[in-house]
Structure 1
């Protein structure tokens, strides 16, 4: 259907709704006509007219539903943590919140409704949110920080009565229609970056908060426990903050009692918190809280510092609600601090960038839409057609996992796959054992099955123990996403074990590129001073079951882009090891190389013979001399299946300038390589493929790779066919 036809159809459907409301307006404005009825009769049909698949008629798995509806309404005057009534998404990416009210609510002047709508959008860093009772529709700018005392007109971009829907249709279409989002018009109009958001309201505010909390905690802990090393101090601060934030998030998700932390006494706050953490440890377990009781560290925090931090996690000092903050966003924010270390210099606490991060230009998270694409194209074919019984030993790993964003995406993908399989196999057969029917007839995985999937399939490694801790924090939050306190308590009571699993055996700290034995074979015994810095990891020790089976089934990730010159500046011993003729890395045996090549080479050795690899890396290796060894490695494997070439498109948006590509490889080998060139990133982001060319894998070798379009390739083929010799012959 063309855009003009879609608009005309939408206009006609909306006109019908408007006429139906006008005929019985007096009845719809009565107090007895409630919000649920308004949603059923008018608001849901309005969204459908704008092209949104509210009822998931195409049968997408939960993660790909275009509209997520919230059924419950339990918000009080002070609570303000309920979720919005509609969440509009495209390609797993949030675009709009729509908050519904009954027609009798005067949304043109209702401050509470306006504040609630703006707070949702601000917390999710969305550019706009919508408030409607169909009688009127308001669009709010969600960039300004919302205040509960704001009048309803503050930050309001549009206020349209139902009788104006026709004359102002084009304005509404540009902001509310699925077509506007899919085409990229929505993003362009509202200056949405090609990363996750157009604005970073919550991200920026919470980032500043966490930075302040870290500084204050570090100074207070050091003053009370001055003997801690920089590593211990950094780790203690992160652990402490993670636990407090975890419990605060659980309050907004209705797992913990709301304001539980806020109600701690002003005197003896630290001791009261410790008692609360011990209670939480009994209920959640998984090692989330045990380090705070480590008598060796002897950590204590002053009541004033602790009390002020807890207070800042609640309104009005915090304008957001964790009820709508995605787990991935929290991981991205925490990831910013993985590039920092807390040190003590001249008796004063300082937070400084790690040298390798400083040299590399800082921490830049991978955009979620890129992560999801890599996961789908790498893991999807490995799962296709397989039953849960077939997947008993299936594993997906990220060997440089950072905050865990690839692992979160992989976990989401697996949850969707399992749920779709159980429903397709006959929901009634699996009901009560692995799935249950939720509100609106939607099938969901039982908590125990989600827990099993996490432990069975997800694996991660990072050289930074703090990164591993953040990844664990993120995955556990993802596990309890959508759960209630009652459901978790029932699980604990029935299974007689804590609700959350220990992830110590599936997430491990260590250097994916260096094992102790490899170092000894090349350089001799590792000096003690280097042990903490290099942090060697032996794969057969850390993942014995997986290595005994031949490795992981899939590996995904965004390996670090660090040139040899940068490595020499912060870790010359490690760089020298890589370049040694006896090292396991062919891609490092030259004057110039990049660390991402080593991760690709290592990944090959960690995959099973039928394994698959998906990464995002700079595409310059395809043509430059220093990329020859990596080209030879990939071409020699005959496993390159897909290349997504972004050309000059900046997938990291305004945060960094990198010219990148996606590589998907299959160790079983491929006959052809599918090369996709992306010219319009905003369209590709929502599922529109770029120009695709297929070339024989045998055409790739150590020489420069040139992925010309079909027309150009045909032209050169005709030229070669017509010429008897080449220049130089």
Structure 2
């Protein structure tokens, strides 16, 4: 990577060349292409950008980004994400003309890009396209003349690749002060789309009350009108067609707004049906409905510019994935229809049920390029024609659109004679014919949501629309149905039989590429759980829809095919998914597992997994495969195969692996202890009273609850409620510990619970008898305390741990092990794996944790073991003294805290010694989170 000093030297050469040019009075002869070639491109190359798009770089500069048949000269990207758009001008051009700034700002805003750069080398102007202002001068953030390039080089360096990787320009902009921001193009369009939908819905409902219109028909009709208008606006802005909608509006206005506007638009729809022959414009129920002229007028005008007239929409500039994002959020709004009106409301329930979540474009690009893109590199043109790409939960089609783009790129690069001979023997419409063949032969999708399918088809058709060419029907490729269930008794009419719907593909072994972002945590009914348990070998408890999509995709993928999914990060660590991880390790060559953390509107962290199905390869061969895990790291596939529960620790190196091996040589905890979870009650102590038998039970978050005493179901909202846990001591109540009542080695206090409330069924008091360890169940680390009091009860998020009767081990040994830094390291590398969210420690996992059994210790180890117990006793004594002092800030308290810290460190040292760690290994553990 170029450094700032080298960059400054190169830029000095460019400045010297410019001065020489000026002295020779040759500047006036410099056109735009000469300016770009001799000055602008070299300038940004000096700033570290990959201006010639050399391979194996994280950045690239896309030349001539097309926007409504105009050109933004360059898009500067890092990892596929645009950082700024650059508009180049010839040196003699006056850079101060307002229209140039307006163009640059508008281009960047429409592309969803913060920064717009305008330059002729003689000067550089940097605009923030997100700042809301009526005067472009207020958007100007940086204005440099060629004379400033060396004197103010630190500011010029803000435009370097290195600075954009560090976000320096954004940070500098924040220092300027908060300026009001424009709403981003996707949010602005979403707001407008939602408003238009509600306007149309209410209007149609009001004017068609006697038509017997159902909610589904209303939804479909509004969607069809809207899809038509979007398609037409795209064609207009791409200059495939002259403007059709606005002239119709103007004609209607000029005639005194006589006649129905929808009837005038019907002529436009018929024209598009003749030209493009798409299902979109065929006769439909929406053509027979009454729509008021004023509403339709506002909707159509709103597709040209925002309501405040601040921004003109250019649909050719809006990327397909941005439009997909808008549509997928738009689908999260559903119609609520009453007898006289319809209202659009946002339904997160629907999004959860069907998995309607937007996938950021950079993740879509990453997955498609590393699956389909890699397959294309090793395939002949004949083989490429037969590649079948599937997204089994395609939504609005973002993965399919990107797949189409990459296939289109492939054919553009191939020999033109081959393309001509194979795709269009007439010599006419080669490009269009090729695009149609790609859509019909290579691209396939399924989704449960009918409207999502309609939008996916629309988005794909927009990719290939050309004037004078009729569009193909995509119903055979993009299907509405339940990708997971083929039984009509379970899924009704949505049941999808792959062997029938995709007969030839399944007969040939399946799909070559299966990609997507399947639904996470979709609701699964009782009957569906039975079906999945039988057909997917999935456990009936805690099923997650993404795992079911993984299993279905593995079935649909042919041998040698590639899978690429975005899935919850929990997949790499949870015991719930150990079996599916094993399937990948034993049946696939895994290429990438990349942690993408979180993205907007999704609360869970996520990862991508990309792998090739190689059932025919030996396990030993797969074990030697290197998996890319991000940040240049690689891990042998065989390492994961030998870790407990097959966890995918993406940051495991050889040194950490050796430390873990020393721990994993011990016994499973389940062989030594009994583990019991506390009462099924939250720390707030909520209970609810059955209206039928008047007995109490633990509170429920569901709408309905079945009484455990009389077995009758009742509405939770109408029932009496109470709390049976109190912070204050009540004589008839029993002590109970909640999470905040204890910490490592120390019980801080307790709460109190009504143990005799009629109807409440508590667990056996035997599990609470002391001595016992108490451990938090919801924590990224083992937080454990020692309890010697009798019969203190626990809530559901805490465990009671006791030594099994036949085992001769001191509980305080386990207490020390759990609270040690070594076992924090164990948790970090075999369970939490760096998760940002609080982790639940399952009972099954806890029993699987490995620990050295003192029964197997030699004489030297037994001495250390005794020393460890004694040290723990001292630490517990000091903690008791701390409890006696309470919150008083005294010197005595400080001395006791120092002693506790000292004993804690001694315990860690003894544990390191027991497990045989070297000084280097101790250093690694100590530096761990």
TM-score between both structures, scaled by the size of structure 2: 0.63
Q: Per the alignment, in what secondary structure is the counterpart of residue 221 of structure 1?
A: helix
Say if 1:580 and 1:132 are closer, same or farther in 2 by CA, change over 3 A. closer
Cα deviation, residue 133, structure 1: 2.7
- Residue 511 of structure 2 contacts residue 557 of structure 2 at CA under 8 Å; is this kept in 1? yes
- Residue 339 of structure 1 contacts residue 362 of structure 1 at CA under 8 Å; is this kept in 2? no
Task: Give 1:10-409 correspondences, 5 Å limit.
Answer: 10-24=10-24, 28=27, 34-54=31-51, 56=53, 58=54, 66-69=61-64, 82-108=70-96, 110-145=97-132, 147=134, 150=135, 152-175=136-159, 177-182=160-165, 185=168, 201-226=184-209, 227-258=212-243, 260-264=245-249, 265-266=251-252, 267=257, 268-290=260-282, 293-295=283-285, 298-315=288-305, 316=309, 318-354=311-347, 356-357=349-350, 363-409=356-402
Q: Deviations over 1:627-678 (max 9, x none)?
A: 344334444x5215135242xx6341x4333222222232224613544444
Q: Per the alignment, in what secondary structure is the counterpart of residue 586 of structure 1?
A: coil
- Residue 593 of structure 1 contacts residue 627 of structure 1 at CA under 8 Å; is this kept in 2? no
- Residue 146 of structure 1 contacts residue 319 of structure 1 at CA under 8 Å; is this kept in 2? no
Say if 1:6 and 1:212 are closer, same or farther in 2 by CA, change over 3 A. farther
Q: Deviations over 1:235-259 (max 9, x none)?
A: 2212211211121122221112146
- Residue 356 of structure 2 contacts residue 519 of structure 2 at CA under 8 Å; is this kept in 1? no
TM-score between both structures, scaled by the size of structure 1: 0.80
Q: What stretches of structure 2 of length at least 5 have no aligned partner? A: 175-180, 668-849, 857-929
1:600 matched to 2:588: no
Which range moves more in the overlay, 177-186 or 383-392?
177-186
- Residue 40 of structure 2 contacts residue 120 of structure 2 at CA under 8 Å; is this kept in 1? yes
CA distance in 2, matches of 1:722, 1:586: 31
Cα deviation, residue 411, structure 1: 1.6
1:461 matched to 2:446: yes
1:709 matched to 2:652: yes
Q: Deviations over 1:367-393 (max 9, x none)?
A: 122122222222244333211112332
Show the counterpart of 1:416: 409
Which range moves more in the overlay, 597-606 or 12-21?
12-21
Task: Give 1:568-647 correspondences, 5 Å limit.
Answer: 572=525, 575-580=526-531, 583-587=534-538, 589-635=539-585, 637-646=586-595
Show the counterpart of 1:441: none
Cα deviation, residue 183, structure 1: 5.6
Show the counterpart of 1:531: 492
Q: Deviations over 1:458-510 (max 9, x none)?
A: 00000001111111121122234xxxx6xx33xx4xxxxx1x22111110001
Show the counterpart of 1:696: 638
Show the counterpart of 2:612: 666
Cα deviation, residue 91, structure 1: 3.5
Q: Deviations over 1:412-459 (max 9, x none)?
A: 222223333x15xxx566578769xxxxxxxx9823212211211000
Q: Per the alignment, in what secondary structure is the counterpart of residue 94 of structure 1?
A: strand
Q: Which has the larger radius of gyration?
A: 2
Cα deviation, residue 327, structure 1: 1.3
CA distance in 2, matches of 1:584, 1:597: 13
- Residue 650 of structure 1 contacts residue 657 of structure 1 at CA under 8 Å; is this kept in 2? no
Say if 1:229 and 1:183 are closer, same or farther in 2 by CA, change over 3 A. same
Show the counterpart of 1:683: none
Q: Per the alignment, in what secondary structure is the counterpart of residue 664 of structure 1?
A: strand
Say if 1:256 and 1:702 are closer, same or farther in 2 by CA, change over 3 A. farther
- Residue 248 of structure 1 contacts residue 261 of structure 1 at CA under 8 Å; is this kept in 2? no
Say if 1:706 and 1:46 are closer, same or farther in 2 by CA, change over 3 A. closer
CA distance in 2, matches of 1:538, 1:27: 71
Task: Give 1:487-526 correspondences, 5 Å limit.
Answer: 488-489=467-468, 492=469, 498=470, 500-516=471-487, 519-520=488-489
CA distance in 1, matches of 2:385, 2:314: 38
Say if 1:362 and 1:576 are closer, same or farther in 2 by CA, change over 3 A. closer
- Residue 230 of structure 1 contacts residue 344 of structure 1 at CA under 8 Å; is this kept in 2? yes
Q: Per the alignment, in what secondary structure is the counterpart of residue 147 of structure 2?
A: helix
- 2:597 corresponds, among 616, 625, 650, to 650
Say if 1:543 and 1:695 are closer, same or farther in 2 by CA, change over 3 A. closer
CA distance in 1, matches of 2:475, 2:59: 30
- Residue 2 of structure 2 contacts residue 46 of structure 2 at CA under 8 Å; is this kept in 1? no
Q: Deviations over 1:86-136 (max 9, x none)?
A: 32234433222222334444333x222221111111111211101223332
Show the counterpart of 1:472: 457
- Residue 401 of structure 1 contacts residue 461 of structure 1 at CA under 8 Å; is this kept in 2? yes
CA distance in 2, matches of 1:296, 1:310: 16
Aligned Cα root-mean-square deviation (Å): 3.5
- Residue 121 of structure 1 contacts residue 128 of structure 1 at CA under 8 Å; is this kept in 2? yes
CA distance in 2, matches of 1:461, 1:243: 22
CA distance in 1, matches of 2:436, 2:56: 22
Cα deviation, residue 397, structure 1: 0.2
CA distance in 2, matches of 1:506, 1:463: 14
Q: Per the alignment, in what secondary structure is the counterpart of residue 626 of structure 1?
A: helix
Say if 1:258 and 1:81 are closer, same or farther in 2 by CA, change over 3 A. farther
- Residue 591 of structure 2 contacts residue 612 of structure 2 at CA under 8 Å; is this kept in 1? no
Say if 1:64 and 1:452 are closer, same or farther in 2 by CA, change over 3 A. farther
Q: Per the alignment, in what secondary structure is the counterpart of residue 364 of structure 1?
A: coil
Cα deviation, residue 209, structure 1: 0.9
Aligned length: 644
- Residue 231 of structure 1 contacts residue 341 of structure 1 at CA under 8 Å; is this kept in 2? no
CA distance in 1, matches of 2:587, 2:627: 15
CA distance in 1, matches of 2:652, 2:368: 26
CA distance in 1, matches of 2:133, 2:71: 16
CA distance in 1, matches of 2:330, 2:20: 55
CA distance in 1, matches of 2:392, 2:664: 46
Show the counterpart of 2:808: none
Q: Per the alignment, in what secondary structure is the counterpart of residue 153 of structure 1?
A: helix
CA distance in 2, matches of 1:329, 1:269: 30
Q: Per the alignment, in what secondary structure is the counterpart of residue 288 of structure 2?
A: coil
CA distance in 1, matches of 2:55, 2:420: 19
- Residue 114 of structure 1 contacts residue 131 of structure 1 at CA under 8 Å; is this kept in 2? yes
CA distance in 2, matches of 1:645, 1:209: 36
Q: Deviations over 1:537-581 (max 9, x none)?
A: 121222122122122111001111116xxx25xxx3xx4322358
Which range moves more in the overlay, 690-699 or 93-102?
690-699
Q: What stretches of structure 1 of length at least 5 have no aligned partner? A: 73-79, 192-197, 436-443, 493-497, 521-525, 679-688
- 2:516 corresponds, among 535, 539, 557, to 557
- Residue 74 of structure 2 contacts residue 85 of structure 2 at CA under 8 Å; is this kept in 1? yes
Show the counterpart of 2:675: none
1:546 matched to 2:489: no
